[in-house]
Structure 1
Amino acid sequence: MLITLPPQARRRAAAAGAAVTLSIALAACGANFNAQTAKPYQPSEGTNADSGSIAVRNLLVLAAEDGKGELQGAIVNRGRTDDTLVSIASAPAEGSSSTEEPATVTFGNVRPMTLATGAVLTLPPATGQPFTVTGGKPGDMIKVTITFAKAAPLTTDIPVLTLDHYSPTPRDDAETHG
């Protein structure tokens, strides 16, 4: 038995088919090499940087208002041979147009540490003293140079956050903009 549709039903079916086809075509516009989901995303407050097979992840300083704090983060050796963290030091700021002299930032308790193949070195280290930072106040960005025995030195900016940076309420002395 042959089923025939009235002209109005055929038009509705054709319109529905066209709408489905158009929605699929428009959805595909976002699925190319420039799609948002294909772009790098850093969901943490710290800095990520790479030097060859060495990956520095979520590097930041947690500090008190007096500028005394600790270095936090992780260093991953994705290479085929062990490497060594040699030093972490403050690097000079580039092209500063400020007339103020930048604060002196120093790192303490930094010592050579083995970066075993496939392993993660967490900061602060599981054993020994944490890497201390003096002179970086919350809200600052510190330029640091991290030196390794085999990988090239890495220079990057890392943020300084308050010890309670997850506090849900603003500070009483916080500046207001508006």
Structure 2
Amino acid sequence: MPITLSSQAFRRTALTAAAVTLSITVTACSAGFSAQTYQPYQAAEGTNASSGGIDIRNMLVLASEDGKGELHSAIVNNSQSDDTLVSIESAPADAPVQNGSVPQDAEQKVTFGNVRPLTLKIGQLTTLPPATGAPITVTGGKPGNMIKVTITFGKAAPITTSVPVLTEDHYSPSPRQDAEHEG
């Protein structure tokens, strides 16, 4: 014998099914802004930092074992006016950093050369080393270390951050073949 429902019972059943379906859908999307897919992820090895509308992307140093290298980065001006990169210099060991990275060794003496004012046009990407002219040189940053830098702009607030030093072949240093192995 078939089961028949009154129109009132049918409406209740349909409403209950709709409520269950809606609650499942809403629950599945309830991760909100703390969902892993909303969290920033940097696939590059360099450091990202921002000051106002100036965005530093993938800043790193490529250096030889003796600590001589070049600064590499992309800088984007997303502000409302042109700005100028005024200087890049080693920051004090106890200076707070924007991205909370590992502080550099207090004994590590890092110097920057060929730093000159660089115009940052609105909406444009500027790369370091520049396409023309001498690259910004770094002395004292050995592969595997982090160095603390302060980047100063004409209008935007300065950025102090830690920057990784990689080998010249763009890889993080790995243990040498002749290093002793723990057994």
Q: Deviations over 1:82-119 (max 9, x none)?
A: 00000000001118xxxx85121000001001000111
Paired residues in the alignment total 158
SS in 1 for 2:37: helix
Q: What are the residue-to-residue correspondences of 1:68-147 with 2, within 5 Å?
A: 68-94=68-94, 101-147=106-152
1:163 match: 168
1:13 match: none
1:166 positional shift: 3.6
CA separation in 2, counterparts of 1:176 and 1:23?
54
One-letter amino acid of the structure 2 residue matched with residue 113 of structure 1: L
Q: Percent identity?
A: 65
CA separation in 1, counterparts of 2:109 and 2:174?
30
TM-score (normalizing by structure 1): 0.77
Q: Which runs of 5+ in 2 are unaligned?
A: 4-16, 96-104
CA separation in 1, counterparts of 2:182 and 2:70?
30
CA separation in 1, counterparts of 2:55 and 2:145?
23
1:34 positional shift: 1.1
CA RMSD, 1 decimal: 2.9
SS in 1 for 2:43: coil
CA separation in 2, counterparts of 1:59 and 1:43?
13
SS in 2 for 1:143: strand
1:32 positional shift: 1.9
1:27 positional shift: 4.2
Shift in alpha-carbon separation, 1:89–1:175, aligned structure 2, 3 A: farther
One-letter amino acid of the structure 1 residue matched with residue 139 of structure 2: T
CA separation in 2, counterparts of 1:24 and 1:176?
53
TM-score (normalizing by structure 2): 0.75
Q: Deviations over 1:124-168 (max 9, x none)?
A: 011100000000000110000000011111100000001123489
One-letter amino acid of the structure 1 residue matched with residue 163 of structure 2: I
